[in-house]
Amino acid sequence: MQIRVINPNTTRGMTDTIATAAQGIAAPGTRISASQPAHGPVSIESHFDEAISAVGVLEEVMAGERDAMDAYIIACFGDPGLLAARELTRAPVIGIAEAAFHMAALISTRFSVVTTLGRTGIIAEHLLDQYGFRHHCRRVRAAEIPVLDLEEDGDAALNRIIDESRRARDEDGIGAIVLGCGGMADLTDEIGEAVGLPVVEGVTAAVKLAEALVGLGLGTSKHGDLAFPRPKAFVGRFEHLSNGAGVS
């Protein structure tokens, strides 16, 4: 089984962190390959960043189709371009926020999300509504750290996340913590040990869900709105996407 894990930002160190976490949890026989767009933001912390990064995600899925990937993971907690990516392939495409919410709801009736910045916490709240998990989530909390601090000032960032996770444990009446950033993929064990609650991280959750879907022989439905896009011409910088870039 081959799973392509796509980091929607362009920071190579974060891509490597995500790839290591994904391969570490993968079953024997599952091969993880990680990629990132050639163009786009170095981190994703706004609706604008997400919109720009989504094009790169779709290009990476198209490249993965040429490589015959069995499943894809979008490794940003905003799940940028998720539904559009599902239009491009029959393989399962899993966003790490949706994966983390599902896993957390299976092990606890209430969870809180601990993310990076307050503004990205609002984006997570939108996703909770969209995916139907609002009633499971007690609170979305922000450690107020820029995403790149996870790479550049890791110890300080980890301490801030642990502090916020402890407040969630003590104040929110929850049974689990969801980590709200793909860059936290390697922090699960340390946070769980410090907080004493189950900690769900989306990259690793998505790997196990992808393996399950492929094992069950379930792929993205091509009936309804997730059918392949209708062929049409694109112009200018997006001309290479004309006619669905050969997807069929």
Asked whether the domain spanning 97-201 has the same topology as the one spanning 2-95+205-246, the reply is yes
Domain 2-95+205-246 CATH class label: alpha beta
Q: For residue range 13-28, what is the model confidence (pLDDT) as tens digits?
A: 999 999 999 999 999 9
Q: What pLDDT does residue 245 have? A: 53
Domains of the chain, residue spans: 2-95+205-246, 97-201
Terminal Cα distance for the chain, rounded: 22
Structure confidence at residue 57 (pLDDT): 98
> Which residue positions in the chain have pLDDT lower than 70?
244-248
Cα–Cα dist 55/119, whole Å: 22
Q: The whole model's pTM is what?
A: 0.95
Q: Running DSSP on this structure, what letter comes out for residue 246?
A: G
CA 98 to chain centroid: 8
Whether 95 and 120 have beta carbons less than 8 Å apart is answered as no
Q: If one looks up domain 97-201 in CATH, what number appears? A: 3.40.50.12500
Instruction: With residue 82 as reference, give the H or E element that holds it.
Output: helix 82-87
Long-range contacts at 209-212 (CB < 8 A, ≥ 24 apart): 209/92, 209/94, 209/99, 209/102, 209/103, 210/3, 210/70, 210/71, 210/72, 210/73, 210/92, 210/94, 211/1, 211/3, 211/26, 211/27, 211/30, 211/71
- pLDDT the model gives residue 150: 86
What percentage of the chain's residues is helix, strand, coil (to nearest 5)?
50, 15, 35
Supply the pLDDT for residue 244: 67
* 195: amino acid identity, one letter: V
